[in-house]
Copies of this chain bind each other. A is one copy, B any other.
């Protein structure tokens, strides 16, 4: 028997109380679905959302160093080490010495990383469009815009 069935967002007969009125709960539920579908859609490449973000950011910002990647992604340096380790093991990313600073490494995608990122990005876009397809295109933009506002709010 499969222990964990797909998430049922509303179980009949259950009263969700205040949860139904909270923005945070709606975002959390959407995120669970999006994460599930992302991982399933990308399983053949071993790519998770943070790994995808790291690949895209490194590919668009050549020479980025590990500490900068951590800052951009909002994670600790130790987390960035683990993330880069995983992407190196997958053959997608490499550390290169920086001549001007022998403590530092600049990050870059490998050839394989560059090639696969194209296919991976296409798969991510397909997944993302599939998840958003119950909304009209202008609604999708509005939704993204509002979410950015929330995400950028300072505390």
Interface residues, chain A, with chain B CB atoms under 8 Å away: 3-11, 14-19, 21-34, 36-38, 40, 49, 53, 56-57, 59-61, 68, 71-72, 74-77, 121, 124-125, 127-128, 131-132, 134-135, 139-140, 142-144, 146-155
Contact = CB atoms under 8 A, between A and B. Distances in A.
Contact of A72 (B11, B140, B144): B11
5 contacts: A15-B61, A21-B144, A23-B132, A24-B49, A25-B49
Copies of this subunit? 2
Contacts of A3: 76-77
Given A14-B57, A76-B3, A23 B143 contact: yes
A148 B23 contact: no
A148 B4 CA distance: 21
Contact of A18 (B125, B140, B144, B149): B125
Given A23-B132, A33-B150, A131-B153, 7 more contacts: A6-B154, A15-B61, A16-B60, A23-B144, A31-B31, A33-B152, A135-B150
A66 to B, nearest CB: 14
